Structure 1
Amino acid sequence: MLRRLKAAADALGAGLFLALFAVFMVQIVARFGFNRPLPWTDELAVCLYVWVILWAAAAIVPEREHVMFDLVWNAVGGRARQFMRIAGNLMIGGLAAWALPACWDYVHFMNREGTPVLGIPFMWVFLPFVALLIALVIRALRNIGRALRGLDLEDAGVPTS
């Protein structure tokens, strides 16, 4: 089941990136090939870019691929690493959980406003931010559980499995 969800998330990310690339190519051909820029391509490219970045951060890019500052992590022992892992995930997950209701309210509120050219409701443009917050909460809970069991405390904070 988890494997299927991961495959679906990857497929959606690839589809979004492919759509972004296609819109970008249409934009280039229209602007430089026919000297007729299309305003909808600019707008759709921006919307797709927001989706690609936020969706990838939420569902595709594994935690070990995110930027880490591990100088202190590598200098301390296992007990301190366990504390740091729990404390860090409590902060990140807690802040994401705290922000989630207000962010959802705002994203839902933005349903009344649309993009200038295509009229896409801004709710749909910024919805992946809510998905990112939910993913942060889930990852933090998972990481806290693993840290309590003494897992994922290797050098550089990168899990081996």
Structure 2
Amino acid sequence: MFLRKIANAIGGLLFLALFLTFLVQITARFGFNQPLPWSDELAVILYLWVILWACAFVVPEKEHVMFDLVWNSVSPTTRRLMRLVGHTLIGGLAIAAIPASWSYVHFMAREKTAVLGLSFEWVFLPFVLLLLSLAARSWHGLVQAMNNRDLDIHEANP
């Protein structure tokens, strides 16, 4: 619970920074007719961080977009099998992608953003965090499905 509060606080601060950057950008562009190149770049970087951070650590599995027409029409046994296969595929692909993704992100440390001069390693780091989170969530989902718990994710943790 404590880690969730920290993740939510970080997500909120990232969004606040994005919002403030956006306000500075609008004020400079339309109020003073002086567009600021750094605000465009920072807004893009913060947007990337907000989306990937929220997906990795803030939004619970039951809140992610899903198409549940098939899920609602099958038996609990089939749902369990679907969860096992789904979590195995998602977690397996995330685990398989981590080494190459980290290698690329680490390789991009040599490149800098055009205006702010930030290392692209920091720009793309949340993608690796997302993959790690997907792997951990999939492992948790597999354990839950193997123990025949939490099969209806729409009703779990209301």
Give the shorter-chain TM-score range: over 0.9
In structure 2, the partner of 1:40 is 38
Q: In the comparison of the two structures, how many residue pairs are matched?
A: 157
Per-residue CA deviations over 1:72-109 (Å, capped at 9, x if unaligned) read 11111111111110000000000000000000000000
Assess if the C-alpha contact under 8 Å between 1:152 and 1:158 holds in 2.
no
Please name the residue that 1:118 is paired with: 116
Q: Paired residue for 1:158?
A: 154
User: How well do the aligned residues superpose, as a CA RMSD in angstroms?
Assistant: 0.8
Identify unmatched segments of 5+ residues in structure 1.
none
| Alignment deviations for residues 85-142 of structure 1 (CA, whole Å, 9 cap, x no partner) | 0000000000000000000000000000000000000010010000000000000000
Structure 1 residue ranges, 4+ long, deviating more than 2 angstroms after superposition: none
Correspondence for 1:28:
26
Q: Match for 2:11 among 7, 10, 13?
A: 13
**How many angstroms does 1:159 deviate by?**
4.2
User: 1:140 and 1:121 mapped to 2: Cα distance?
Assistant: 30
Paired residues of 1:27 and 1:42 also in contact (CA < 8 A): yes
CA distance in 1, matches of 2:53, 2:21: 18
Alignment TM-score, normalising by the size of structure 1: 0.95
Matched residues in 2 for 1:103 and 1:9: separation?
Answer: 22
Percent identity, aligned pairs only?
58
Where does residue 85 of structure 2 map in the other structure? 87
Read off the aligned partner of 1:125 and give its amino acid letter. Answer: V
**Matches of 2:35 and 2:95, distance apart in 1:** 42
- TM-score, normalised relative to structure 2: 0.97
Tell me how far apart the structure 2 counterparts of residues 160 and 94 of structure 1 sit (CA, whole Å): 24
Q: Which amino acid in 1 is paired with 2:156?
A: T
Instruction: Determine the C-alpha separation between the residues in 2 that align with 1:73 and 1:19.
Output: 39
